Amino acid sequence: MNEQLHYIDDYFTGALRPEEKAAFEQRCTSDQEFARAVAFYLTARSVIKEAVHENKAAAFKKMPVSMAVAKRPVGRYLAVAATLLLLVIAGWLYYKGSPAPSKLADSYIKENLSQLSVTMSSESDSLQTGIAAYNKGDYAAAEKIFTILSNTASVKTDAIKYLGIVYLVTKRYDMAITQFDLLSQIPLYANPGPFYKALALLQRGTPEDLQLAKKLLLEVKNNQLPGSKYAVEWLNKL
């Protein structure tokens, strides 16, 4: 490699000692070939810098207009103020009116599903491990355990129920509904599947969901299934 280039690059990247710098500067005036190499080095770096700027400018130009057209700060403050005002009005209306379906479900989940009860059973240690993970808020671990156990015949029913609850509290309502559908299909004397499915539907909250949730709550009420006490209360409010 050209040794001169090392020397020149060292100068312009500030790697030379003061006496070496002085010698370099002296050589620029006395050695034309060397000065020519310096001129080339500087031109090349300037051309590369120019390419950097052009690339950056091209990237900026490609940025989506919605990002590029930022609002003036005053406009932004107004927008924030307007949003806050809307939130205050919406909040007032929300609390003034009847409770929203999702609020009913929310409060049920907070009161009854924050912690799962630990049952004493020697044959379902893994289930207890899953419940313990759930109660610690480690939903990812709980989900893994209940997913595996949902294929184990002896604890399948509970595992499906708990897996659905994990999906419910982590707001993955579609997946929760799938589990509660599976649970509802299992022949049990008192199946909580329909009530949990109604909960998930109320949380998901599309207009169709509300209708279906009402239907399920009615079924829970009429058949005295688990959750019937809440079903009666909610049907009066919905």
Q: Footprint of other proteins on this chain (CB under 8 A)? A: 1-2, 5-6, 9, 11-12, 24-26, 28-29, 32, 35-36, 38-53, 55-57, 60-61, 63, 67-72
Which has the closest alpha carbon to 195: 113, 121, 88?
A: 113
Least Å from the CB of residue 79 to other proteins = 14
Which has the closest alpha carbon to 214: 238, 180, 185?
A: 238
Closest to other proteins by CB, 2 or 117: 2
Closest to other proteins by CB, 79 or 88: 79
Which has the closest alpha carbon to 146: 175, 174, 184?
A: 175
Q: What share of the chain is helix, strand, coil (3-state, %, to 5)?
A: 80, 0, 20
- Helix (H) or strand (E) holding 94, with range, is helix 73-96
Least Å from the CB of residue 13 to other proteins = 8
Least Å from the CB of residue 172 to other proteins = 29
Question: Cα 205 to chain center, whole Å?
Answer: 20
Closest to other proteins by CB, 26 or 222: 26
Closest to other proteins by CB, 12 or 94: 12
Least Å from the CB of residue 82 to other proteins = 19
Least Å from the CB of residue 69 to other proteins = 6
CA torsion through residues 26, 29, 34, 40, sign: positive
Helix axes 173-185, 156-169, angle to 10 degrees: 160
* Calpha distance 232→229 (Å, rounded): 5
Which has the closest alpha carbon to 128: 142, 113, 118?
A: 118
Closest to other proteins by CB, 3 or 111: 3
Closest to other proteins by CB, 70 or 120: 70
